[in-house]
Structures are given as structure tokens and as C-alpha cells.
Homo-oligomer: A and B are copies of this chain.
Amino acid sequence: MIDINEIYFVTSNDHKIEEANRILSQFGIKLKKSNIKKIEIQSNSLEKIVKYSLLYAIKKLNNEIIVEDSGLFIEKLNGFPGPFSSYVYKKLGCNGILKLMKEISDRRALFKCVVGYCSPNIKPVIFHGICYGNISYEIRGSHGFGFDPIFIPDNSNGLTFSELSPEEKDKFSHRGIAFRKFGLWYINNIAKP
């Protein structure tokens, strides 16, 4: 029987927990939701946001913890909505982004994910994942969450994240890349044998 390593995930987003656990199951890692408050600072840098959240959370929770932050960065909108993607999604939705992108033909964008880990004994370690793609011209698909229905990752034959099955999305998504990097590092450096 394989031991499961359980780690606290400081987040209020159940979609993220589901996605991360789907990706991390192959490494024998299970994330469980932490109910401590996540503090996020305002910054252009996902890394700075994650590091601050980790250092804040580790003071409250004397345990292994994971913090994740991600954002959609649109080239012709100067990187908007970036680290504020979740807020912008709640306020404007996918339609707000499509409105801002009206009459803009260069639709390049990227999704970036930063995963941070620390424990009472281990200083923050950071893992990155980037997925390049384009903003679609309309909302398409039903899987995923947030801006998934308007993001077409490269090499998806023109399908949005929301038109891919969850497992297909994980293969090249920013979150898939970052959490797999973390999983590999964790089983090689931390996991109990």
C-alpha cells in the first residue's frame, strides 16, 4: 500500500483543489483545503503574491502548505487582467474581456501559474507553469472555470480550455505544468518513503 502525503492548500477556490488533486494523484500527494484566510497583496508579480501569502499562512498554520496563484496575461492589454484575473472575472466575466478585445486582431495571451510550497522547516520553494495561446472571438465550451471558455491554448486544434476534457487540459495547462514540477520535486525531496 502506498502512503498518501497530505498537504494543506490555502485557497477558497474548490475548482483549483479539484484540478490540483487530479494532477498530483500520480505523485501520491493529496491537497486538503485549509480554512485559514488567504492574504493576497496587490502586485504585478504572481511570485511576490505567492511568497507573501505563504509567509503569512505559515505563521498561522504550523504545517506543510501550498499556495497557488495564476493569471491570464493578454499581450495587447498590457498584461491585463494578470494577477487580478479572479477579481476581473467576477466583475466583468468573459464578455468584458471580449469587449475589451473588440477590433484587436493580435489576440496573443498566456496563462501563468505559480505554485509555492513551504513548511515550518523549509523556506518557500516556487514552481512556474506557462501556457501560451490566444483569446477566442466568442465564449466556447463548458468545462473548467474562469476565463477557460475564451482561451485557446497553442496545439489544441483551435479548441478553448473549456472545450477540452479536464485531463486534456491538464496536459498542457499552466496549472498542470506547475503542479507536475512541484510533484516531482516533492517526491524526490520531501515525501516520506
Point out residues on A near B: beta carbons under 8 Å.
39-42, 44, 52, 77-82, 84, 87-88, 90-92, 96, 99-100, 102
Number of identical protomers: 2
Q: Is the CB of B84 within 8 A of A42?
A: yes
A77, B77: Cα distance in complex, Å: 18
Q: Is the CB of A80 within 8 A of B84?
A: no
A92, B91: Cα distance in complex, Å: 15
Shortest Cβ gap from A4 to chain B (Å) = 32
Q: Specify which of B79, B87, B91 is in contact with A91 (CB 8 Å cutoff).
A: B79
A91, B43: Cα distance in complex, Å: 13
Given contacts A96-B100, A100-B100, A102-B99, contact A42 B87 (CB under 8 A): yes
